[in-house]
């Protein structure tokens, strides 16, 4: 995964691209010999990105916003994470940009 600067202008594209990347890597991990830690990391990333997408559509009420879900996960689990660092950093950056929008 190539790391590009995520801004408000490319936010939706970055969100969709990163979500797609997480989903495809999760499928590969499930089909191959992916570890449980990797699959859990990817599932958490997907959950966080889908949550942001739902929030942007107005499906989730503002009082239940979960835009920092993955950041909190990384803080707790970083030493044990099996996810590719570039993908992890992209999800964290997406959450960070979204929090400032």
pLDDT of 56: 83
Q: How many CB atoms lie within 10 A of CB 48?
A: 27
Identify the weakest region by mean pLDDT among 1-5, 8-12, 57-61, 64-68: 64-68
**Residue among 91, 101, 89 nearest 15 (CA):** 91
Average pLDDT value for residue range 44-63? 82
Prediction pTM value = 0.86
**Which tokens belong to 60?**
């989730």
Work out the average pLDDT over 24-48. Answer: 93
Quote the longest CA-to-CA distance of the chain: 39
- pLDDT reading at 58 higher than 80: no
Distance CA 33, CA 29 (A): 6
At 22 the pLDDT is 97
3-state secondary structure of 3: coil
């Amino acid at each position: 995964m190539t790391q590009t600067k995520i801004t408000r202008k490319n936010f939706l594209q970055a969100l969709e691209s990163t979500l797609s990347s997480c989903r495809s890597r999760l499928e590969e991990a499930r089909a191959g010999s992916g570890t449980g830690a990797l699959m859990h990391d990817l599932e958490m990333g997907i959950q966080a990105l889908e949550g942001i997408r739902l929030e942007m559509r107005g499906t989730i009420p503002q009082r239940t916003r979960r835009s920092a879900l993955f950041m909190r996960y990384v803080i707790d689990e970083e030493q044990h994470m099996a996810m590719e660092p570039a993908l992890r950093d992209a999800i964290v950056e997406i959450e960070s940009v979204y929090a400032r929008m």
